[in-house]
Amino acid sequence: MQKFRKIGIFLLPGQKAAEEIYSMKKYFKSFENKQNFLNDFPHLTLLHGIYGDYKNLEKNIKKNINLIKELKNYSYELNRQFIFEDDVEKNFSTLVYLIDNPEPIQTFQIKLLNKFKPFKGSEFLNLSNEFINDFKKYNYPFVGENLIPHFTVTNINNLDIKEKNKFLSKSNKINEKFHDLVIAEITSKDLKVLEKLW
């Protein structure tokens, strides 16, 4: 009998970006506001969904190793922050670092979805029309130009405007390669790496 699992494919940041993100996660851990994603290791989500046969997915990925390694030598730029408002829940803000040269990542993601489309999509609340067609096609809504590649610090409830402005005004300029591409299982508590692909 198949065991259905929520699995995603994620890019891990290089050392400088990881240190910056962990530093900000540590800062927000002192806040009493309700938060999500704070304990996740720094990552950039390419896709996730429900898969029935992990062994089959694993074999399929190994058959497509040239595709998997496509972004191994790609250098990303990280020099601005952004906040997604009313994200996940109303009055919650998701604080992120944006990738400034996202096109190669968006192209890579479409190739991954064409090869490793989830059996079933994860649950997404209140999707707008622009995402529904991609969800029907790929079982994932944020595809290609609709994917905004980013690293999340936290998703936090009722964050003070001063703290938002403080985060947005941070000065960072990072240019480096990704550390790894991983497959991870998404549980109610955290992300559990199943396999490193690089």
**Measuring CA to CA, which residue among 83, 80, 92 is closest to residue 155?**
92
How far is it, in rounded angstroms, from Cα 50 to Cα 83?
28
| 153 in a structural domain | yes
| 160 in a structural domain | yes
| 195 in a structural domain | no
Q: Tokens 């550390």 identify what position?
A: 179
Count of domains forming the chain: 1
| 194 in a structural domain | no
| 107 in a structural domain | yes
| 196 in a structural domain | no
| Helical pair 54-63 and 103-116, crossing angle rounded to 10 deg | 120
**CATH number of the domain to which 46 belongs:** 3.90.1140.10
| 135 in a structural domain | yes
User: What's this model's pTM, rounded to 2 decimal places?
Assistant: 0.93
Tell me the pLDDT of the chain (198 aa) as tens digits.
Answer: 568 899 999 999 999 999 999 999 999 999 999 999 999 999 999 999 999 888 888 889 989 999 999 999 999 999 899 999 988 778 999 999 999 999 999 999 999 999 999 999 998 877 888 899 999 999 999 999 999 999 999 999 999 999 999 999 998 899 999 999 999 999 877 899 999 999
Range of the domain at 145: 5-188
| 46 in a structural domain | yes
How far is it, in rounded angstroms, from Cα 48 to Cα 73?
23
Phi and psi at 54, nearest 5°, equal: -65, -40
